[in-house]
Structure 1
Amino acid sequence: MNPTHALDAPAAGADVRATPGVSAAPDRTAPTRHVPHIDGLRALAVLAVIAYHLDERWLPGGFGGVDIFFAISGFVVSASVGTWNQGGFGRFIAWFYARRMQRIVPALLACLLLTTFASTLFVPAAWLSSANETTGLYAFFGLSNWFLANHRESYFSPTIDFNPYTHTWSLGVEEQFYLLFPLLFFAWTRGGRWRAASMILFAAAGVVSVAWAWQLGRVDPAASFYLITTRLFELAGGVLLYQILARRTAAIETPARARVAVAGAWASLALVVAGLLVSKPRDFPFPGAWLPVFGTLGLLAFLHEMRGGVLQRVLASRGVTYVGRISYSLYLWHWPVFVLFRWTCGLESASTRSLATALTFALAAASFRFVEKPLRYSTRLRALTRVGVVALGIASVGGAFWLSTQITAARESLALGTVTRHADDWYPHAVTTLPEVPGCRLDTHIAMAGTGSVAIYSRSGCPAPAEPVPTLFVIGDSHASAYLGLLTEHALRTGATIVLYHNQNCTFASLQSEREQGACPAQGQAAIDDMLARGRTGDIVFLAALRLNRLSNQFAGVDEARARDGIGGEAARTRRATAEKTLIAQLAPLARHGMRMIADAPKPVFRAPPFRCADWFDRGNPICAAGLEMRRDDLQRYRAPVLESLARVAQGVPPLLVWDPFPILCPDAVCVAIRDGKPLFFDGDHLSAYANRMLRDDFERIVREAHAKPDA
């Protein structure tokens, strides 16, 4: 069967229309008959992706559904333009892009805008959501896959499950393929020897893509997974299949030929199913992508040869084809719905999964009925020139992008969550002015220290302090930055300069040597060298770090027994004794330089992250089940080994004082993460802005004490 069909659909699913053996109509909106089994293959692909995203244990290789989409897309897009004969390249490319704009853009923009609005309502800014906004903005222009690749956001990282735009990476691959496709395919439309040239171009591009995917996957798996350069072979495979079948001379149908087609189709399906069942995250490109891609290409080829049969009847059944027809919208909507459930009520129970799936299908059906079909077959759009349709599509993308930025900018007034609406209590940002020091403002300067950066905060616009004030050098990890509100208030109130080292992806003075590996020792030494160069006698080094194991993280609970054993167990005590000696040696040059030091003692830690459990819509989330309270005596026992270690370090480095915020943060028998409606902690261990204000006076006390401490 010659596959010159009027097919038109993006890889993420679409309405597939075709008439076997009939040339494609030049009018992009002309209705034609379905090829039902292709809808059935799309249904298989999107259901595999949905199952994987609900629970990866159900279908470990379900992410391969996207590979199925890519293979189908290459075939379908080729067939939809394979008989073009309406003019030269300029007209061809305008016609092609008008079809793509009309087919893909409306539903995508509707999904992105509504997702932006819903995220603004329910998702607070946090480390867990730090990539969300940028991913969404890049998605408007088909570039989210490049952002995720450069951001090193692995598709299989837990943080990806909380980004409602992650799935747009595949649409980015698709849209970037459309930029390349006309250049390689136009020769095909010229007929004769030009068709062979087009096939050679696609074959060469596919071979290079496979080689690059293999090579890049060894050094940068995230980039290999996301990029068009490593995915091109999947789409090119579909194109080549169309071209091979279109050039083939029709053969006489015989019973033997029919049996071969049936056997080949079932064998191809077995390859697809094997890929969906056994592929692992690091199996790209082989066998993770090859099994579903080659299986799909085999199905496309053999199903076109078949006349009935069980497999074709199943794939062409009414329910299956309907899922295939709405699969683009299903793909668009399932992921934002699942992610927003994770941020709110959770997606772990049978009831929430059922509700999320039902909502996905309802939104997809509405999108298909009210967005996809009307705009695809719009008589008004049909009346425009092809260039006009493209221009309107580009303008729509730009307008939607602008509207998305406006929604995000209005986050504080639109948000339903207390974290966003009361950001000044939750986020320990730099304080730029204080009423009690009128005229003073905070200045920030970024400098380099070794291979890392350092932020320098100082006040200006007001008189200099009457007496010299010690500079405060701050190093540790993210817990040092969590004191930023307190530190910048100190700079404004006293005139001190704050030098905060951005110890990227590292910690310092954690007393956990297993966390200070790789580049961390060199990075820490570079900071010490910088302190020695900048510092004077009497200046103070503040060592702020997480020295306990977390009892929760921002996306899930942890093995608490293992976490506690990692602090109080015998092996942990042995490792910490070594870390004590290392830290004493690291701090000794600072002590000889006449600098004083302060180390913060372990603060309370909690089994749930407060920022995800502070509102009516998320308190029932399973991550909040452990509660936001801890018994004081339990935490005292947990942190006792670290306090003992800090005491020994202070003996080895006499200029070191240990500052303990614990009594202020937990004065009662039960420690709470939220007190009287005010957060003390942002997540399970980082301080809130409100806690920074609570600790300010006691921190200034310990700074004065350290400054007054006599030299050893």
Structure 2
Amino acid sequence: MQPPRPQYVPHIDGLRAIAVLSVILYHLKASWLPGGFTGVDVFFVISGFVVSASVDRLPPVGGWAGLARFYARRIRRIVPALVVCLLVTAVLSALFIPESWLSETSDKTGRRAFFGLSNWVLASTGNDYFSPRTEFNPYTHTWSLGVEEQFYLLFPLLFLAWLRAGRGRMLSLALFAVATVASLIYAVRLAGQGGQEIQAFYVTTTRFWQLGVGVLLYQAMALAGRFEPDPSARALNWRSPLLLLALCALGYGLWAARPGHSPYPDGLWPVVSTALLLVLLQRHPGGWAGRALASAPMVWVGKLSYSLYLWHWPVFVVFRWTVGLETGVTATAAVLLVLLLAWASWRWVEQPLRHGGRGPNTNLRWVLLGVGVLVLGAGLQSVLAKHGHHVSLSTVSRHPLDWYPYAKGLKREVPDCRVVESSLPVAGGQARLLERGDCAQGKGVDRHVFVAGDSHALAYNELLKRLVVAEGGQVRLYGSGGCALVGLQGWRGPNPGCEAYTANVLADLLATARPGDVVFLPGLRVPRLSDQYTTFDPAQQQAELESDAAVQGRAAEVATAITQLRPLAERGVRIVLEAPKPVLPSPPFRCSDSFNRHNPICAGGLTISRERMEALRAPVLASLQQVADALPGAQVWDPLPTLCPGPVCTPDHEGKPLFFDGDHLSGYGNRVLLPAFQKQLDAP
């Protein structure tokens, strides 16, 4: 006789509702529910429990037929709504989201999401779940679907013995127990190692135990015959200690979980509490807790939970990129749009294909169709990502030659001349070597220019390529984000990675630079007023720049720079230090269109007065001049008069952008500065 098996129980949908609402609330405004991201942990436990129950309810089918049935059911449940959401997200991304540092991993994440691999992409980017690039990636939320889909690849192999009954059940339980414990041990191990937080959060090997707890819970209850409600038991109420313990643990986890401490140890609270609630409410569905979770609103939200989870994140991200998500009006509009899209997805995508008679008539055909749809969807997403600028509503995407310093327009402008680009190994990284290939203009100037600095050095890419085409010679470009040589902001705190980078670059310069060569040292040396994702208080930035710590720090860096650069200068290498360029209160690429111009990040405007900019850079300019005065032949090149010739520094010139974001040059800005830079190089 088969032991009793669970039928539909509405309180599970109620738990799903708690999980998805917690995640949505956290993503809407993290301070409202600081640990709400652990709602995903609740989902994992429920998924393990429910998928076990759904397989065990069906008549046993072994071999390939059993696997085909399992994967066909999973495909019908997951794939249709996922593919629709991912393709709509790809279209919205093409329309509204330009290429940038914030979005550089988005397309790859979306492409891998079709195959349940986005969690591994996110784990490899070096940006955790709580970083800006993650918040502006419309596919970030698919990491948890990737974990579940990878779990489903393993599940039938471990659950197969269970379906054979008898000793097979104990074998299956033992297999899941071993895998669950091993996953938990691995999660604990990574939690004890510094710098492993990103890996621990995303990868399936550290998350398997959360789904495994759900499976083991189902198996234990099935073996004990504990699925039928206990008619002799009293209904759970406020005096039920286990219920209070479970609810307090769940509430504590959703409130107190901390970034960088998931899935262990802060994932323990939602996992243990969810498992305990599943047991209690299965046996004692009566009482206030059962009635609350089984209420019509909670069940309705629970039934829509998959669609709500799919749609809430891309909607929120598109709002962040366009009108913003900070005000009550925009937040309300975003939530209403999520509800509408989720209901439409559930009504016309999920339900017809999951429960209706549409689609193939065999499990194998469903599997083949699902795989084909995923491959086709990924292909369409790739096409949209590659050619989206043709349909984009963003002026940045429509005019890439003006906004991005990639110098892609050179081929059309100078078809008979090209830049030969290669990589050179440097200890701790590499440098880019730019040389002129066969050109009709002849050999040109035999001058070697070494450019070393932070992302601002890399942002001179177009200027340097045009310099090579115009004059010949050779440019060696070193660049690492946040690591300027003579950065003059080291007083903010030590950065061992940058110290190692600058040491390696200086060693390479000493080994390769010869008399008559030029070493150009650009960099961000004043505080930013805006980043690609946020803005900063100008008064606070000015105060920090003038603080005693900053004054002392710059003095120490000046002395260090003179010591490091003197061997080059005494050899006859000309040192050119870049004076600070304008920094803008808002990033132009985020505020360039009618649909994003009123985003809160644009509230500070896009201009800065020349007087205010001069005051901001005065302390740094004085320090740079001290370095130049101490080195024979060294000079300070000031691009500000070219970029800001009037009393107000603007983000554009004659309708074209000078800057991409709050301080990096655009492609057009590179072209505007090139004559001034050439003049500086030719100066005696």
Same fold (TM over 0.5): yes
1:258 CA displacement: 4.6
Q: Which moved more, 1:548-557 or 1:243-252?
A: 243-252
1:470 CA displacement: 1.2
1:693 alignment counterpart: 671
Alignment partner of 1:224 out of 200, 216, 230: 200
Structure 1 outlier segments of 4+, above 6 Å:
none
User: Residues 259 and 353 of structure 1: is their aligned pair in 2 closer, same or farther, counting only changes over 3 Å?
Assistant: closer
1:341 alignment counterpart: 319
Task: Please show how residues 194-233 of structure 1 align to structure 2 within 5 Å.
Answer: 194-217=168-191, 218-219=193-194, 220-233=196-209
Alignment partner of 2:218 out of 224, 242, 259: 242
User: Is the contact between residue 570 and residue 632 of structure 2 (CA under 8 Å) also seen in structure 1?
Assistant: no
User: Residues 434 and 109 of structure 1: is their aligned pair in 2 closer, same or farther, counting only changes over 3 Å?
Assistant: closer
1:259 CA displacement: 5.2
Alignment partner of 2:547 out of 564, 569, 592: 569
Q: Which moved more, 1:562-571 or 1:368-377?
A: 562-571
User: Is the contact between residue 432 and residue 441 of structure 1 (CA under 8 Å) also seen in structure 2?
Assistant: no
Q: Which moved more, 1:259-268 or 1:468-477?
A: 259-268
Instruction: Report the Cα distance in structure 1 between the residues aligned to 2:222 and 2:87, rounded to whole angstroms.
Output: 40
The SS at the match of 1:448 is: strand
The SS at the match of 1:119 is: helix
For 2:174, give the aligned amino acid.
Answer: I
For 1:204, give the aligned amino acid.
Answer: V
1:385 CA displacement: 2.0
Instruction: Report the Cα distance in structure 1 between the residues aligned to 2:481 and 2:652, rounded to whole angstroms.
Output: 29
1:403 alignment counterpart: 380
Instruction: Report the Cα distance in structure 2 between the residues aligned to 1:467 and 1:160, rounded to whole angstroms.
Output: 46
1:3 CA displacement: 6.3
User: Is the contact between residue 465 and residue 494 of structure 1 (CA under 8 Å) also seen in structure 2?
Assistant: no
Matching of residue 684 in structure 1 with residue 662 in structure 2: yes
For 1:405, give the aligned amino acid.
Answer: S
Instruction: Report the Cα distance in structure 2 between the residues aligned to 1:588 and 1:499, rounded to whole angstroms.
Output: 20
Alignment partner of 1:510 out of 477, 487, 491: 487
1:270 CA displacement: 2.1
Q: Deviations over 1:615-660 (max 9, x none)?
A: 0000111110000011111111111111111111011112211111
Q: Which moved more, 1:229-238 or 1:247-256?
A: 247-256
Instruction: Report the Cα distance in structure 2 between the residues aligned to 1:653 and 1:442, rounded to whole angstroms.
Output: 33
2:119 alignment counterpart: 145
Instruction: Report the Cα distance in structure 1 between the residues aligned to 2:42 and 2:582, rounded to whole angstroms.
Output: 49
Instruction: In structure 2, list runs of 5 or more residues that go unmatched.
Output: none
1:537 CA displacement: 1.4
User: Residues 408 and 421 of structure 1: is their aligned pair in 2 closer, same or farther, counting only changes over 3 Å?
Assistant: same
1:488 CA displacement: 0.6
User: Residues 326 and 500 of structure 1: is their aligned pair in 2 closer, same or farther, counting only changes over 3 Å?
Assistant: same
User: Residues 529 and 463 of structure 1: is their aligned pair in 2 closer, same or farther, counting only changes over 3 Å?
Assistant: farther
1:173 alignment counterpart: 147
Instruction: Report the Cα distance in structure 1 between the residues aligned to 2:444 and 2:385, rounded to whole angstroms.
Output: 45
2:38 alignment counterpart: 64
Alignment partner of 1:111 out of 72, 75, 85: 85
TM-score by length of 2: 0.96
Alignment partner of 1:418 out of 391, 395, 399: 395
1:566 CA displacement: 2.8
User: Residues 239 and 135 of structure 1: is their aligned pair in 2 closer, same or farther, counting only changes over 3 Å?
Assistant: same
Sequence identity of aligned pairs in percent? 47
1:509 CA displacement: 1.6
Task: Please show how residues 419-438 of structure 1 align to structure 2 within 5 Å.
Answer: 419-431=396-408, 433=410
Q: Deviations over 1:41-79 (max 9, x none)?
A: 101110000000111111111011101100000000000
Q: Deviations over 1:313-334 (max 9, x none)?
A: 1111111111100100000000
1:531 CA displacement: 2.3
For 1:592, give the aligned amino acid.
Answer: E
1:262 CA displacement: 5.3
Matching of residue 445 in structure 1 with residue 422 in structure 2: yes
Instruction: Report the Cα distance in structure 2 between the residues aligned to 1:573 and 1:249, rounded to whole angstroms.
Output: 73
Instruction: Report the Cα distance in structure 1 between the residues aligned to 2:216 and 2:36, rounded to whole angstroms.
Output: 25
User: Residues 3 and 62 of structure 1: is their aligned pair in 2 closer, same or farther, counting only changes over 3 Å?
Assistant: farther
1:4 alignment counterpart: 5
Matching of residue 189 in structure 1 with residue 148 in structure 2: no
Q: Which moved more, 1:545-554 or 1:671-680?
A: 671-680
Alignment partner of 1:392 out of 369, 387, 390: 369
TM-score by length of 1: 0.92
Matching of residue 584 in structure 1 with residue 585 in structure 2: no
1:487 CA displacement: 0.8
Alignment partner of 1:533 out of 511, 527, 532: 511
2:607 alignment counterpart: 629
Instruction: In structure 1, list runs of 5 or more residues that go unmatched.
Output: 6-18, 20-33
Instruction: Report the Cα distance in structure 2 between the residues aligned to 1:434 and 1:169, rounded to whole angstroms.
Output: 40
Instruction: Report the Cα distance in structure 2 between the residues aligned to 1:435 and 1:47, rounded to whole angstroms.
Output: 53
Alignment partner of 1:469 out of 446, 458, 471: 446
User: Is the contact between residue 442 and residue 459 of structure 1 (CA under 8 Å) also seen in structure 2?
Assistant: yes
Q: Which moved more, 1:81-90 or 1:322-331?
A: 81-90
User: Residues 127 and 234 of structure 1: is their aligned pair in 2 closer, same or farther, counting only changes over 3 Å?
Assistant: same
The SS at the match of 2:424 is: strand
- Count of residues in correspondence between the two structures: 678
Alignment partner of 1:489 out of 450, 454, 466: 466
1:665 alignment counterpart: 643
For 1:239, give the aligned amino acid.
Answer: V
1:310 alignment counterpart: 288
1:567 CA displacement: 2.0
1:276 alignment counterpart: 254
For 1:237, give the aligned amino acid.
Answer: V
Q: Deviations over 1:404-454 (max 9, x none)?
A: 111122222111011111111111113573677552111110121112111
The SS at the match of 1:655 is: coil
Q: Which moved more, 1:385-394 or 1:530-539?
A: 530-539
